[in-house]
């Protein structure tokens, strides 16, 4: 189901990502939720939720990366 606010996001997102990354996740998830509502648009028999989650994390990883030393997410250098 789509997320109305950042506080609605899964704990794994809220507890690990900076606010801007959470906004990216929420926006991408909600967009993918709509785009992939038809099962024939999804790959490998994935559920709508799985697909939206994959799209959302991919969108986050386009802008942020996990710092291996501190285990935190940081914005990528331009």
pLDDT at 78: 72
In a domain, 36, yes or no: yes
pLDDT at 33: 97
In a domain, 18, yes or no: yes
DSSP calls for the chain: ---SSGGGS-HHHHTTS-HHHHHHHHHHHHHHHHHT-SGGGSSTT--HHHHHHHHHHHHHHHHEEEETTTTEEEEPP-
The count of other CB atoms within 10 Å of the CB of residue 46 is: 14
Predicted model pTM: 0.92
In a domain, 24, yes or no: yes
Q: Residue 40 is part of which domain span?
A: 6-75
pLDDT at 44: 85
Read off the pLDDT band of 55 (50, 70, 90): very high
In a domain, 53, yes or no: yes
- If we measure between CA atoms, which residue out of 1, 14, 18 comes closest to residue 53? 1
In a domain, 63, yes or no: yes
Q: 5-44 pLDDT, tens per residue?
A: 999 999 999 999 999 999 999 999 999 999 999 998 998 8
> What is the 8-class DSSP label of residue 17?
S
pLDDT at 71: 86
Q: What is the CATH number of the domain that holds 37?
A: 1.10.1740.70
């Amino acid at each position: 189901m789509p997320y109305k606010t950042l506080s609605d996001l899964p704990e794994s997102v809220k507890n690990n990502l900076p606010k801007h990354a959470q906004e990216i996740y929420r926006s991408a998830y909600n967009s993918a939720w709509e785009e992939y509502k038809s099962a024939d648009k999804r790959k490998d028999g994935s559920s709508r939720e799985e697909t939206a989650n994959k799209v959302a994390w991919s969108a986050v990883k386009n802008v942020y990366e996990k710092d291996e030393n501190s285990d935190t997410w940081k914005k990528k250098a331009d």
